[in-house]
Structure 1
Amino acid sequence: MRLIHNMTTIAECPAPEHSPLGRVLKMAVIGGSGVGKTALVVRFLTRRFIGDYERNAGNLYSREVQVDGEQVTIQVQDTPGVEMTDNAVGLPDHVTCSVQWADAVVLVYSVTDRRSFDLIDQLHQLVDLLHLRRVDTQQGPSLAGTLGCSFYDVSSSEDYDQVHSAFHRLCCQLAKQQPAAPASSQNSATAVTEKRRSPLIPRPKSPNMQDLKRRFKQALSAKVRTVTSV
């Protein structure tokens, strides 16, 4: 049984895909800061418990073991603690790289730290997204640069603020590129609108027959009086 402690991270020193002794099983251990990830890894690999550890930048451990009669190499990537800010979790690049590299991910929390427990659900969702991803994280920005476009890596199910920010910035760019309407056009549009809103002038009513007869009688009476006076 042999334990190898490699001080480099996965990103700096990728592990070989195949071991001369057989298969390689790769695991990444992630969780909040100070929950005991390193102690858990060392306990598994060496059977020893060490209570105090210095914060690490992500150490890679390797051990050869027998699994169902087969000699395999187990590689365990320890990772720095993940922090939650503003109810959102962001994985550092080296942690993201470790998750994508691993065949399995161990999520660790402390029973004395409720915040580390609440972090697990979000970490699980991020891990699922990383394993489902089929487009490399660098390909999107690269394509956007080639096309001369802005790039935003967002998830509609994870973070509303990021989605809102992407659309809001697009609106700001459009507003800057689109010229403002001239003042005369705005006044004309207002006048047309007011004209359309103004009530229609009622048409005068046609005189009825009774009114015409009354006016005709008045005209005849006037003529008779005129003739008589003469």
Structure 2
Amino acid sequence: MRIPRIHHPELLTVGEDVALSEDAANHVGRVLRMGAGQALQLFDGSNQIFDAEIVQADKKSVRVKVLAANADDRESPLHLHLGQVMSRGEKMEFTIQKAVELGVNVITPLFSERCGVKLDAERLNKKLMQWRKIAVGACEQCGRNLVPEIRPAMELEEWCAEQDASLKLNLHPRASASINTLPQPVERVRLLIGPEGGLTADEIAMTARHQFTDILLGPRVLRTETTALTAITALQVRFGDLG
């Protein structure tokens, strides 16, 4: 059986005995039904992987001993910040999960004029916690040892106005440039993906004022979740570590 990879929210030290988080303990103890003596791999956000052994496990808690640490850098040389206008239902969760697998470093959920998601503060906070859990789970699955930052949701113009030295890109169906025509090298990208109905003319003009470059992916109109993942993949192929 493949050794499970588990995220630990605090920095680990070789030789210490630690209790897994509630979510991790539930997964290891209840779902995987693992017990004392079995091996785990832990990662804590320090870009290391830790070999560990379960020393105690029951239905409510799991304790492990940290045995060894090894550097394990799987991060892309391209730093990607995805600004994603929120989509309905499971589409946003899908986008976050796959964006993490593809190497995105930061994700900011956005509100725009045509955003179809309407949430009060309490529900939005619950969504944020869920999205962060999805990011952790994606890292556990794909082998990343740095968990991307999922920022609190914000307004589109506020996000666009943030000071950032990154190359700023906005997907637009009538753009003349493409990812393949962007000059190299590029080390940092801020990528904007609009809602299912697209950005309004005023919003597109606003992005131009904040030095965003309109780019085209291809001749077909893609759904918002497909657009995000296609653009991320194309950027990683040209400037990152795919291909």
The verdict on a shared fold, with TM-score over 0.5 as the criterion, is no
TM-score (norm 1): 0.20
Flag the structure with higher helix content.
Answer: 1
Flag the structure with higher strand content.
Answer: 2
Choose 1 or 2 for highest CA Rg. Answer: 1
TM-score (norm 2): 0.20
